Chain A
Amino acid sequence: MMFSRLIPYEEITKQLKSADTIAVISCNTCARECGVGGVSRADELVDRLTQDGYTVTEEVVLQDACSEPVYRKARIRLDADTIIVLACSAGIDCVKRMFPKTRVLTVTEDVGLFVTETDLEVFKVALPFSGFKAGAEYAMYTGAPQEKQRIRLEE
């Protein structure tokens, strides 16, 4: 699974213009587990953008935002001219290819690949991307860093 982090809200709105029509596409798999995507994060972002006066035309939550067949099956038609993707870079790349005429904003950064312990609701970064370290643990569904290490992972 892929751990991605959302950039600050202000950094997202810097990339937006008031006339933009926006669609929020949220991944309900890895991104949900690490607190970036899923239904609740999509709802939160749509609410905040709407309250700040932006025009949000669509909210989409789907399983595996990194899989082209998922979009084909869902037959999504967007009125928006700008897409905010709550997913890892692989999900964002997939959206860019599926909606080539629409501007796609990059609002997350990849931290690394993680193993998870769903009974304990924690996950641990095992294969980090550049600039990040392996071994850190985070709470599922929020991505909050954990002080205590609960997963001991063999090399």
Chain B
Amino acid sequence: MIISLREIGYDALKTQLKKDAPIVVWSCDECIKHCGLGGMEKLQVLADLLQRDGYTVQKELISRSCFLNLVRKHEAAVADAATIIVLACDLGYRCVKTAFHDKQVVKTMKTVGTGNFTVYRGPVLTSPLPWTQLEPSVDGYTLKTVSEKLGLHPTFFDAADATDLVTITVDGKPVQAKKGENLLDALETLGVKIPHLCYDPSLGLIGACRLCMVKIKGRFTPSCCTQVAEGMEIVVHDEELEAHRRLMLEFIIAEKGVDVTERSRELRYWTRKYKIEGTRFKLQTEDQHVDESSEVMVIDPNLCVLCGRCVVACNNVSGQHVIDFAGRGSETRMVTGLNEQFGETNCAACMACAHYCPTEAITPKLIVKKLMKEQDLLTPIPPLVTSSTKARGKG
């Protein structure tokens, strides 16, 4: 992954902006997000800060800002903007500047090299670019260390007090939440977990799975499609809502088979939480062809719950428009290209669909081939094996 750090402060950023000029805050959804300086969450923070200070701001997320053709496909999103603030590496910034050269494009990050995402230390820089004058390091430099050495910032713009808080009631308890925030996000921030499959903050509203229903003024309301407002009274847990969520999960099992709950981590979590072991409905399952034609991804329609995340990710976050729905009603299915094998489409391999799929119906390709068994290693191996196919067949 590419390692970048923030090079300007919020006040310095504002000196480059005009109050009457519409702004698009643009973020890459890949390396910069893993560096803690981009992605939808950071887009929202910066947009909140700027809106509080009186600027007109829109947000735009792209799966990979270093893919010039994908950047160009986001033209409509920046059409009305005078200024684009870019949260991306130097490559992503230059692609935006190239694609939208008639706009003011503001750089906020500085790329220092490449590195790893580690489990315990987060992102580390292992292969610094020459300008940093740092030596390569297998263990890697933490972003804090690199920032100190190079005079950059390892954290995002300060989000403190960027938004107004309002009081809402959740299951009878008064709590505070951000005004205008997505209700499902607000509930999760408050520690209230509700099952949901189609909603992800980065993708916006879909409202397809109907799992995240709550009651507001006694009416069933999808929390993912509702904004927090002062005085809102929300019921998250009651018998009727729990029965509804069970019913929705049973519908999925009826359509996809009982083993879907074992193969998909997300469904496994929720069916176990609701103690669902089967379905009262007639199973509608039929074994569907697993598409392994792509070099980078595998699509298993047997796990697809038609939540629509991959469709939104491919159309809005990537811009490549390779995945969509076809058919109607019970015949609805997810298709790639013009109903082709995935490997035959012009997929840019940005991985947005796999990243957002909640049920592992789309996953990055992982191949682990054991070419020799343990006992093969104990017997002498002839010096020359003439058929590679034969050698592989041993595994």
Q: Which of A18, A33, A64, A117 contacts B68 (CB 8 A)?
A: A117
Chain B residues near A89 (CB, 8 Å)? Answer: 114, 126-127, 136
For chain B, residues 1 to 55, give those with C-beta under 8 angstroms from any C-beta of chain A: 1-2
Q: Contacting chain A: which of B75-83, B157-165, B237-245, B377-385?
A: B377-385
How far does the alpha carbon of A55 sit from the alpha carbon of B346 in the complex, in Å? 37
Across the interface, which residues of B come within 8 angstroms of A33, CB to CB? 349
Judge whether A119 is part of the interface by a CB distance below 8 angstroms.
yes
Nearest-CB distance from B10 to chain A (Å)? 25
Give Cα A1–Cα B67 distance, bound, in whole angstroms. 9
Most B CB contacts (10 A, CB to CB) among A53, A119, A151 go to A119
Cβ of B189 within 8 Å of any chain A Cβ, yes or no, is no
Instruction: Determine the residue in chain B with the shortest Cβ distance to A59.
Output: B369
Contact B140–A74 (Cβ < 8 Å): no
Q: Known: A88-B114, A113-B2, A154-B97. Contact between A61 and B367, CB under 8 A? A: yes
The answer to whether A38 touches B372 (Cβ under 8 A) is no
The docked-state distance in angstroms from the alpha carbon of A129 to that of B367 is: 31
Q: Does A51 contact B (CB under 8 A)?
A: yes
Query: Which of B129, B346, B384 is close to A53, meaning CB atoms less than 8 Å apart?
Result: B384
A28 touching B369, Cβ below 8 Å? no
Cβ-defined partner of B129 (8 Å) among A46, A76, A88, A129: A129
Distance, CA A72 to CA B120, complexed state (A)? 12
Q: Say whether A1 contacts B374, CB under 8 Å.
A: no
Q: Is A76 a contact of B130 with CB atoms below 8 Å?
A: no
Q: Give the Cβ gap from B55 to chain A, nearest Cβ, in Å.
A: 24
Are A2 and B2 CB-contacts (below 8 A) given A88-B114, A129-B129?
yes
* A102 interfacial contact with B, CB 8 Å: no
- Does residue A90 face the partner (Cβ distance < 8 Å to B)? yes
* Residues 57-97 (chain A) with a chain B CB within 8 angstroms: 57-64, 66-69, 72, 74, 76, 79, 88-90, 93-94, 96-97
- The answer to whether B116 has its CB under 8 Å from any CB of chain A is yes
B68–A93 CB distance below 8 A:
no
Task: List chain A residues, Cβ under 8 A from B130.
Answer: 129-130
| B330 CB, min distance to chain A CBs, angstroms | 34
Contact, CB under 8 Å: B94 / A153: yes
User: Quick one: given A63-B296, A90-B1, A154-B97, are A79 and B374 in contact (CB under 8 Å)?
Assistant: yes
| CB neighbours of A90 from chain B (8 A) | 1, 114-116, 126-127
Could you list which residues of chain A lie within 8 angstroms of chain B, going by C-beta atoms? 1-2, 18, 21, 28-29, 32-33, 38-40, 42, 46-47, 50-53, 55-64, 66-69, 72, 74, 76, 79, 88-90, 93-94, 96-97, 110, 113-120, 126-127, 129-130, 151-155
